[in-house]
Amino acid sequence: MSQISKAVLAYSGGLDTSVILKWLQDTYRCEVVTFTADLGQGEELEAARPKALKLGIAADNIYIEDLREEFVRDFVFPMFRANTVYEGEYLLGTSIARPLIAKRMIEVANLTGADAVAHGATGKGNDQVRFELGAYALRPDIRIIAPWREWDLLSREKLLAYAEEHGIPVEMKHRQGGSPYSMDANLLHISYEGRHLEDPSAEAEESMWRWTVSPEKAPDAAEYVDLEFERGDLVAIDSQRLPADELLARLNQLGGKHGIGRIDLVENRYVGMKSRGCYETPGGTILLPAHRAIESITLDREVAHLKDDLMPRYASLIYNGYWWSPERLALQKLIDHTQLAVNGWVRVKLYKGNVIVVGRDSATDSLFDSTIATFEDDAGAYDQKDAAGFIKLNALRMRIAARLAVRGR
């Protein structure tokens, strides 16, 4: 094992990362810097500080940072400009958080003179790929430590025993079993995997969901919400302009109230296996159709179709961890260029798990011309006789092929 002098650890203060912290000290004999990111997971992250101090981390080696606005502004919103959905359902709530964490870990490593970064992702999941691809893209010489690929502490019982042996404080909820699910939360979503969900034929328990009421228990009255966009990004809700993270938090509140944003899917992980997961993404589930609605009147047809063609590739790049790759950056330039005229407002109706677009307009960039589209007298704005030649020319290749087929009989 080659020498590592200092490692930056993605640290939550929970059982796994607390064990990793001590394991790094004992196994690599290195100085450890802890990094904890607030991405809106709804937990009191300052509690990680005294835990790190108790495990011997110097006060100036503990980094706890509020990244909520940067997360939504620079990662979530650019992704939604592309109307990104993975495998038709997943809004990539976990995937899009990883490149920001990787970026900031490398920045902390550079700041503190660390030569390695460490994470708690397992060898079975996607997150190990996302963290490490991001780290290598941003600092090619960085060393990576992934304890789950090295140690033999491969069960909760072994982790608890290690914590007991080394005097690592363990909260009572861990001793009593805690949540039956593996969960990940940030401002865009909360995910659930494991235990009961490992049987893909079993319905998720109602008690599992944390952000949303069931559609059956949602209000009986619909709620109308106006969303304002500038250059493809949400900037205001019901005429109230807010920072990006507060806008998404407000959408989460609205969506959760109306039972919006639950999905249950089996997805294809990058490492090769299929995995069943459940997700709550209330704000994103409102934002996606609203963004498509404002694009519907501001984007040229072929530009819109080109975006739809590229979206699955873009989604796979994010899911598989290639946010910092040259191809994703190139695609983002194109996507962002298409959004220059995506300005206006959309009205949605929220009702019992549904997001229904009921209106949209753009005062400056609408391509919708009612004088041409009308079913009434258009006063010569559109000459319907032109359609005959248009159709005949577009049918030419099929007419030629049909004649050849007739001759060949």
Active site residues: 16, 98, 127, 182
For residue 378, with 0-12 CB atoms within 10 Å meaning exposed, 13-18 middle and 19 or more buried, which class applies? middle
Residue 126 near residue 319 (C-beta atoms within 8 A): yes
The residue type at 405: A
The Cα 14–Cα 274 span in angstroms is 27
CA–CA separation, 98 and 39 (whole Å): 10
**Signed CA dihedral, 309, 315, 317, 320: sign only:** negative
Q: Is the dihedral of CA 300, 306, 311, 314 positive or negative?
A: negative
Task: Let me know if 200 is exposed, middle or buried by CB neighbors in 10 A (0-12, 13-18, 19+).
Answer: exposed
178: left (phi over 0), alpha (psi -120 to 50) or beta: left
